[in-house]
Amino acid sequence: MTREEPAFKIKTGNLSVLQLHILTTDLAQIKQQLALRLAQTPDFFASTPIVLELSAIAQSGTGLDFTELVSFMLNHGMCAAGVVGGSAEQREDAIQAGLGLFPDVLARSPMRSATDDALAVTGIYAALAPVQPDLPGLEAASADKEPAAPLLRPTMVIDKPVRTGQRIYAEGANLVVLAIVNAGAELIADGDIHVYAPMRGKAIAGAQGNEAACIFVHGMEAELLSIAGCFKVFEDGIPESVRAKPARVHLDGSRLVIQPLNY
């Protein structure tokens, strides 16, 4: 029996995609402004797939005629591929119009991140890479209401010992320490904290409330660990399973979990 050559493969791909943030349910207004915008740069989209971002109109209670919007976009060289965010009805309408649905958790709208941050940043990667691509041509469409992306700054790297009484703050960034952190020292980061040496001081990750932040240490001897304000001290010593060993710390609900890193 001869085996047939496979005609296709199914794989996941991590592609960056343009998003069109819909800020109103007034279709006439959308069409008018889009037409104006595209008149300036007619070939800007050239059949680029576009995801419609609906979180800003999710609470509006009004539907949107996706069929008409999609055909209008096609006429202007924009290929609508699917929607992200939006209310259940809006998403149902989108399916009817032949659009795909992107998983909702990727959306980081102003409303969601304010009310339900845990959902918005389930994976650490969601916190590391804001999903909105930063294209100058789209700024007008997405307006200035974007929330500040949680981590914009480059990782802060410290290669000298952090000693008693010293405090390091990686504002809006991850923090990497390559030398010892002694008792009485404080590491604070809005993102993750990595310590590739014995860690005997305090480590405060996700200081602005990022519950997806993590702490990784090479030798766990910390005085205090905290993620997004949820902290733990070790009056009776560090648990045997992780003491002076490599460990990962993350938040599970309101519980701070310390896991040994076994490799």
Of 211, 194, 212, the closest CA to residue 203 belongs to: 194
Measured N-to-C along each axis, helices 27-40 and 66-75 cross at an angle, to the nearest 10 degrees, of 10
Q: Does 166 bind another protein (CB under 8 A)?
A: yes
Residue 83: strand pairing partners:
52, 101
> CA 118 → CA 4, 122, 124, distances in Å?
47, 6, 11
Radius of gyration for the chain, computed over Cα atoms and rounded to the nearest angstrom:
23
Residue closer to another protein by CB (options 199, 227) is 199
Token pair 């008792």 is found at 183
Nearer to another protein, 72 or 169 (CB): 169
**Least Å from the CB of residue 240 to another protein:** 6
Q: Which residue shows structure tokens 């991850």? A: 174
Of 244, 245, 246, 248, the one binding another protein (CB under 8 A) is 244
Q: Output the 3-class SS for 27-60.
A: HHHHHHHHHHHHHHCCCCCCCEEEEEECHHHHHH
Residue from 204, 251, 196, 239 nearest 224 by CA = 204
Q: Kindly tell me which of 63 and 161 has the beta carbon lying closer to another protein.
A: 161
On the CB side of 21, how many CA atoms lie within 13 Å of its CA? 22
Instruction: Please give the backbone phi and psi of residue 42, each rounded to the nearest 5 degrees, phi first.
Output: -60, -40
221 lines the binding site for another protein (CB under 8 A): yes
Q: Does 245 bind another protein (CB under 8 A)?
A: no
* Least distance in angstroms from the C-beta of 186 to another protein: 11
Q: Establish if 229 lies at the interface with another protein (CB under 8 A).
A: no
Part of the chain binding another protein (CB under 8 A), chosen from 83-91, 108-116, 225-233, 236-244: 236-244
Choosing from 164, 209, 233, 261, the residue that interacts with another protein (CB under 8 A) is 164
Provide the minimum distance between the beta carbon of 27 and another protein in the complex, in angstroms, as a whole number: 60
Which residues within the stretch 168-197 sit at the binding site for another protein (CB under 8 A)? Answer: 179-180, 182-185
Contact letters (x/-) for another protein, 118-157, by CB under 8 A? ----------------------------------------
160 binds another protein (CB under 8 A): yes
Q: Which residues of this chain interact with another protein, rule CB under 8 A?
A: 160-166, 179-180, 182-185, 200, 221, 237, 240, 243-244
